[in-house]
Amino acid sequence: MQDDARPMAAVVMHGIDKRFGAVIADRGASLDVRRGEIHALVGENGAGKSTLMLILAGLLKPDAGRVEVEGRHVTGWSASDAIAAGIGMVHQHLMLVPSLTVAENVMLGREPRRGAAIDAERANADVRALAGRFRWDIDPAKPVADLSIGGAQRVEIVKALHRGARVLVLDEPTAVLTRPEVRDLWRVLRLLRDDGVAIILITHRLDEVVEIAERVTVMRRGQTVARLTAGSTAASIALAMVGREVALDVPDHVASARTDASAALSVRELSLARQGRAAAVRDVTFDIAPGEVLGIAGVEGNGQRELVEAIAGLMRVTGGRVELGGRDVTSLDARRRAEAGLAYIPENRQEQGLVMDFSIGDDLVLREQWRFAAGWMLDRRRVLAHAESQMERFDIRPRDARTPVRWLSGGNQQKVVVARELGEAPVALLAAHPTRGVDVGAIEMIHARIREVCAAGTAVLLVSAELGELRALSDRIGVMYRGVLSAPLFRADATEERLGALMTGATS
């Protein structure tokens, strides 16, 4: 973090209130961001950060308070007003149209024309020129569906800048990026800052806050509770966020695997082909003992997602088999595998982990509605009692089981998924990026719950982009590269340097 001396405010928000029914998202929240600075906005899941930024972007209207942009009173303005005034927001869940090309997404609604027709050549040239400013090699004619997560995020940033953004809001931009992609993003943000752009960074990664931000605003339970400047440590930021000391270093997992037991989860020569492309998964074989954690590292797009979804029963394999507790479940669908004791925390909580229009209570019983049935209907009293217990145990906020999951912050949505899958110890757990987009306190809790089910005998397959998380929680770690899983290394041998080399294709 840098010196606090900066020019006039680009954004001032004061006394902001926002309520969704009985849920209070913001209570008297405030924020000021200066031109030409990188300003971190941090807080626990559900602290009100994203709501505050949606108000700034004109996507929500505050119930009370005042918003000023470049000294102009803009409270309650529309999204189109905000865009016209130079507010650009890159959301945690990207807002691109996958079937359209990069240029079509960037120009959407503002397409250059040659007479009555869209001038595609000019659109492509404009995208290349804007991306070239940041040394980004972006193919404007490529469909967004074919891009990596990092590539799609670059398109979102280019789109915001093409629309003239002078205030750029980034909501959890590094949650799905590799470390080299993060470093490249920091390089671009510093270029924009030096050009006078005000950057608001929402992130739960406190080491990144210390590295990149010049000032920090901390929110807790809808209120602004602290403003921190240069010299603040990750520990002091975490204390302001959570209100208590938080263990930022993940303690090493104490192996509880039963070496004399048969494997709880076995995968044999599993293959998954993609039509017209190289196989996503090629002859993957491994065993996980009861109480053991097998970690999988790898650059995104090397088959980790397909492997986990194939084991979960969501994708049809072209070869091999899956055994759960010694039983061949290869021919079973996802529901029957879950009934056999396979729990699954998916990579994409909104698309695969939750029914967004269901209440918290209903989402918490999705895997086992039959246990809460009274005839043909759910016993609402029992569903509510179960939800209240799990919300307390997993710190899900707000504490109203009737709240639609759609209204929750991303981190609290993740807690709902984790609570449902880890309510009881399953035979095996597939955990794909279980702490992605959650705050430091929630990470601590999720890691503790994973250790609990391991101690009870659950076999865990952990996929994560965080090498520190993998090395702390796993007994063995393998690396996926172009669909092939390397021979897993014991934790003592799985240094970051060695894992990093395997992630780039080294064979040993």
State which H helix or E strand residue 127 sits in. helix 120-132
Confidence of residue 189 (pLDDT cuts 50, 70, 90): very high
Confidence of residue 2 (pLDDT cuts 50, 70, 90): very low
**Mean pLDDT across the chain, nearest whole number?**
91
* Mean pLDDT, residues 391-397 taken together: 91
Q: Which of 1, 5, 3 is nearest to 211 (CA)?
A: 1
CATH code where residue 332 lies: 3.40.50.300
pLDDT score of 174: 87
Give yes or no: residues 47 and 178 share one domain. Answer: yes
- Beta-strand ranges (E) seen in 44-118 are 64-69, 72-73, 87-90, 113-114, 117-118
In a domain, 115, yes or no: yes
In a domain, 446, yes or no: no
Give yes or no: residues 73 and 128 share one domain. Answer: yes
Instruction: Give me the number of domains the chain comprises.
Output: 3
d(CA 365, CA 282) in angstroms, rounded, equals 35
Q: Which of 178, 210, 242 is the last residue of a domain?
A: 242
pLDDT score of 507: 77
In a domain, 321, yes or no: yes
Give yes or no: residues 14 and 114 share one domain. Answer: yes
Taking only the tens place, the pLDDT of each residue in 52-102 is: 999 999 999 999 999 999 999 999 999 999 999 999 999 877 889 999 999
In a domain, 447, yes or no: no
- In terms of DSSP H, where are the helices of 168-264? 179-194, 206-212, 234-242
Give yes or no: residues 169 and 71 share one domain. Answer: yes
Give yes or no: residues 130 and 238 share one domain. Answer: yes
The sign one gets for the Cα dihedral 96, 101, 107, 110 is: negative
Give yes or no: residues 385 and 420 share one domain. Answer: yes
Peptide bond into 398 cis (omega under 30): yes
d(CA 203, CA 468) in angstroms, rounded, equals 18
Give yes or no: residues 37 and 111 share one domain. Answer: yes
Taking only the tens place, the pLDDT of each residue in 230-273 is: 779 999 999 999 888 776 666 555 555 555 568 999 999 999 98
In a domain, 450, yes or no: no
Give yes or no: residues 170 and 33 share one domain. Answer: yes
* 178: phi then psi, degrees, rounded to nearest 5: -75, 165
Give yes or no: residues 202 and 303 share one domain. Answer: no
pLDDT score of 146: 86
Give yes or no: residues 223 and 330 share one domain. Answer: no
Question: How many secondary structure helices (H) and strands (E) does the chain include?
Answer: 16, 25
In DSSP terms, 24 is beta-bridged to 19
Give yes or no: residues 206 and 257 share one domain. Answer: no
In a domain, 140, yes or no: yes
Query: In the chain, what percentage of residues exceed pLDDT 90?
Result: 70
User: Where in the sequence is the domain holding 367, given as residue range(s)?
Assistant: 348-425
Give yes or no: residues 461 and 503 share one domain. Answer: yes
